[in-house]
Amino acid sequence: MRFPKNACDDAHDADFDTWHMDAHERTPMRIRAPQRASVIELLDLSASRCLVVALLLGSAAIASAQQKPKQPPKKPDPMAGMSGMSMSAPKADSSKPKKAKPAAHDTMQMDMSHDMPMPVPMPKGMPMIPGLVGLTPAVTEFLPGKGVDPKRLPLASSSRVTRLKDGDTLDLTAQLVRRTIKGRTFVMYAYNGQVPGPLIRVPQNATITVRFHNRIDLPSTVHWHGVRLDNRFDGVPGLTQDSVRAGGDFTYTVHFPDAGIYWYHPHVREDIEQAMGLYGNLLVDAPERDYYAPANREQMLVLDDLLINADTLIPFGKEAPDFALMGRVGNVLTVNGEPRYGLRAKKGEVVRFFITNVSSSRTYNISFGGAPIKVVAADVSRFEREERVPSVVLAPAERYVVDVRFERPGTYTVVNAIQAINHYAGEFSPEVDTLGAVTVDATHAIPDYAKQFATLRSNDAVSRDIERFRPYFDKPPDKTLTLTVATNALPLATVQFMNVDTAYYAPVEWVDGMPDMNWLSTSKQVRWILRDEQGKENMDIDWRAARGSVVKLRIFNDPKSFHPMQHPIHLHGQRMLVVSRDGVPTKNLAWKDTAIIPVGSTVDLLIDASNPGDWMLHCHIAEHLGAGMMTVLHVAR
């Protein structure tokens, strides 16, 4: 299949030669505490046993009388692209979910007609809870390209750099592709046949035209994440445009006012489309040659996770997202679309990594085998001051730019080192997933940037830009949102379990410590909520700001909700500062478009509401967005 070529499409950038490095195998490394289970681990044999047991025992454990959820009144629906993305999840009593008695929640009847027999992979040593065995999510299963012969589809390739200049045009096609992951072949999605999609590299202040062609089997759009562009091209169906039907086209004009690392993805059923490969980076170059300190090389790291059971992908819910409680957390971690990342570097080399988390729900904590890390920039700007950090935490949709120096020859493992939680055992345990490795040879890097790397630069331009916002840092909030959840018709066992489980919680849940309960929950039963100070929720909130105003948004993540967990909150089309968390001011600021709100925390965000239009604010956990966790900030034109 050929795509129209434009401008410098496919112009290969030597700096990115190692984008998808090696096929040569390394021994997978996984370090864990003894006796501890990992969600990363696929449950192979025990999963199939679990299925057999599940099918045998299933119906016995099921309560009767499934209650059909009531439909709420019709409202403008930014997710109206397809039924499953509708925000019209049923409203249950959400006032104080934690105190609700289990009996107040309807129980779910097993409905075999939904044809989703696949059991969710459980981590080793973690049994399904008996009351859930045999249940399946109350949705029809969906996987891309039903009935399509994978052999007739193009094999996905790795991402290539597409350099565009002001005024250029790009054709971007979302299409079905064949991908082989760990020896198994799946039908998935890609932009222009590439996973990640083409790396669109543009100079700051460029305006480009993107002719989007939707050739997948779902409606879609393209959202230009973090870019403060014209509202008409923000890609939100029902709010800024109609969704692009399968086979349809839409032309976007994208203007890039800020340098840095951004990304593009669909805004329709992200839980399916983004998870199946529709994501790509936008790299915006500042005109200043010394915008960043010098580095020997640039690398993109796009972090994703896929949920695979034996030989198949775990199907998605057709009518509504499943995994609605804590989002779909994959068990195969990928970097740039591949299960293993590799890079060969020279001794003393300084590598600049542009890291993006495109996962549906997973938060990462990335480090480089002990190599020193300097954090340089975040979502929408550089930091006021460069800082040495031991690791980098990225919630879904966040980006960080880090410089790493590999001083000595040898192998440096790129790892995700986190605290796992087992909700059944009530235990936390350290877990380290190896994402890849940097192999450093004895040849010395030229030039040697040791001195520049050792220097922590101050970015005065960033501080000066922020200076005019400082008078607003301590003002009272203009808007307060509480993050919580309402449920209805969940399985009784889930309700009973969660009522006990919320006695302990982690500020951040790094893994899915309750995969079966999570899998069974769909957005028909779970509604995630942004609630304002007047008690209005999600799309009912009427939130307006004057153009050019500085809006203080306070977000509180209620630890007493039915299922407390962190939420990465993303605001479209504007930039914001995380000015404080739990009353502690942030000392070193960078402009952001996504901020993680840990459980129990209160985070103050200062929004530079300078871009007119209707802009979504939502949780970037794809299933939480699919379960209604969104509102709109209207900035007057």
74 alpha carbon, distance to own chain's centre: 29
* Segment near Cu ion (CB under 5 A); pick from 247-255, 471-479, 486-494, 616-624: 616-624
Closest to Cu ion by CB, 92 or 619: 619
Closest to Cu ion by CB, 201 or 524: 524
Exposure pattern of 374-400 as b/e (b: 16+ CB <10 Å)?
bbbbbbbbbbbbbeeeebbbbbbbbbb
**Considering only residues 605, 621, 622, 632, which one is a binding residue for Cu ion as defined by CB under 5 A?**
621
* Segment near Cu ion (CB under 5 A); pick from 8-16, 22-30, 53-61, 560-568: 560-568
* Segment near Cu ion (CB under 5 A); pick from 462-470, 508-516, 598-606, 624-632: 624-632
Tell me the two tokens of residue 328. 């779909």
**Considering only residues 179, 382, 567, 592, which one is a binding residue for Cu ion as defined by CB under 5 A?**
567
Closest to Cu ion by CB, 206 or 529: 529
Return the bridge partners of 313, or none: 308
| Nearest distance from C-beta of residue 449 to Cu ion, angstroms | 39
Contact (Cβ atoms closer than 8 angstroms) between residue 621 and residue 361: yes
* Segment near Cu ion (CB under 5 A); pick from 14-22, 37-45, 136-144, 561-569: 561-569
Return the bridge partners of 185, or none: 180
* Segment near Cu ion (CB under 5 A); pick from 46-54, 198-206, 487-495, 618-626: 618-626
| Nearest distance from C-beta of residue 621 to Cu ion, angstroms | 4
| Nearest distance from C-beta of residue 526 to Cu ion, angstroms | 11
Q: By C-alpha distance, which of 146, 363, 365, 168 is closest to 255?
A: 168
Helix (H) or strand (E) holding 202: strand 199-203
Tell me the two tokens of residue 140. 């029809």
| Nearest distance from C-beta of residue 603 to Cu ion, angstroms | 13
Chain position carrying tokens 């289970």:
37
Phi-psi region of 380 (alpha: psi -120 to 50; beta: other; left: phi over 0): alpha
**Considering only residues 303, 418, 486, 619, which one is a binding residue for Cu ion as defined by CB under 5 A?**
619
| Nearest distance from C-beta of residue 272 to Cu ion, angstroms | 17
Total residue length of the chain: 637
| Nearest distance from C-beta of residue 568 to Cu ion, angstroms | 7
Q: What residues between 409 and 438 interact with Cu ion by CB under 5 A? A: none
Q: How many residues bind Cu ion (CB under 5 A)?
A: 4
Closest to Cu ion by CB, 202 or 619: 619
Contact (Cβ atoms closer than 8 angstroms) between residue 618 and residue 250: no
Closest to Cu ion by CB, 343 or 553: 553
Return the bridge partners of 618, or none: 570, 630
* SS3 per-residue string spanning 238-301: CCCECCECCCCEEEEEEECCCCEEEEEECCCCHHHHCCCCCCEEEEEECCCCCCCCCCCEEEEE
Closest to Cu ion by CB, 267 or 567: 567
Contact (Cβ atoms closer than 8 angstroms) between residue 240 and residue 614: yes
Cis peptide preceding 396, ω within 30 of 0? no
| Nearest distance from C-beta of residue 119 to Cu ion, angstroms | 25
* Segment near Cu ion (CB under 5 A); pick from 5-13, 203-211, 337-345, 621-629: 621-629
Closest to Cu ion by CB, 485 or 577: 485
Closest to Cu ion by CB, 199 or 395: 395
Contact (Cβ atoms closer than 8 angstroms) between residue 70 and residue 489: no
* Segment near Cu ion (CB under 5 A); pick from 14-22, 69-77, 216-224, 611-619: 611-619
Beginning with the edge strand found earlier in the chain, give each strand of the sheet holding 594-597 in spatial order: 543-545, 630-635, 613-619, 567-571, 594-597
| Nearest distance from C-beta of residue 363 to Cu ion, angstroms | 11
Contact (Cβ atoms closer than 8 angstroms) between residue 368 and residue 438: yes
- Measured distance CA(46)–CA(123) in Å, rounded: 9
| Nearest distance from C-beta of residue 619 to Cu ion, angstroms | 3
As to burial, measured by CB atoms within 10 angstroms (0-12 exposed, 13-18 middle, 19+ buried), residue 58 is middle
| Nearest distance from C-beta of residue 566 to Cu ion, angstroms | 7
Closest to Cu ion by CB, 43 or 597: 597
User: How many C-beta atoms surround the C-beta of residue 81 within 10 A?
Assistant: 25
Angle (nearest 5°) at CA 614 between 613 and 617: 130
x-or-dash string of contact with Cu ion, 508-547, rule CB under 5 A:
----------------------------------------
For strand 312-313 and strand 308-309, is the pairing parallel, antiparallel, or unpaired? antiparallel
Does position 47 interact with Cu ion (CB under 5 A)? The reply is no
Does position 617 interact with Cu ion (CB under 5 A)? The reply is no
- Measured distance CA(573)–CA(610) in Å, rounded: 9
x-or-dash string of contact with Cu ion, 384-403, rule CB under 5 A:
--------------------
Closest to Cu ion by CB, 236 or 619: 619
Closest to Cu ion by CB, 62 or 619: 619
- Measured distance CA(601)–CA(482) in Å, rounded: 10
| Nearest distance from C-beta of residue 311 to Cu ion, angstroms | 31
x-or-dash string of contact with Cu ion, 147-166, rule CB under 5 A:
--------------------
Closest to Cu ion by CB, 435 or 483: 483
| Nearest distance from C-beta of residue 629 to Cu ion, angstroms | 5
Contact (Cβ atoms closer than 8 angstroms) between residue 271 and residue 621: no
Helix (H) or strand (E) holding 384: strand 382-389
Closest to Cu ion by CB, 140 or 602: 602
Does position 624 interact with Cu ion (CB under 5 A)? The reply is yes
| Nearest distance from C-beta of residue 84 to Cu ion, angstroms | 17
Strands, E assignment, 445-514:
479-487
- Measured distance CA(272)–CA(569) in Å, rounded: 20
Closest to Cu ion by CB, 213 or 362: 362
| Nearest distance from C-beta of residue 321 to Cu ion, angstroms | 12
| Nearest distance from C-beta of residue 515 to Cu ion, angstroms | 17
Closest to Cu ion by CB, 160 or 563: 563
Closest to Cu ion by CB, 345 or 621: 621
Contact (Cβ atoms closer than 8 angstroms) between residue 321 and residue 307: no
| Nearest distance from C-beta of residue 87 to Cu ion, angstroms | 14
* Segment near Cu ion (CB under 5 A); pick from 161-169, 193-201, 347-355, 559-567: 559-567
- Measured distance CA(274)–CA(263) in Å, rounded: 11
Residues in touch with Cu ion (CB under 5 A): 567, 619, 621, 624
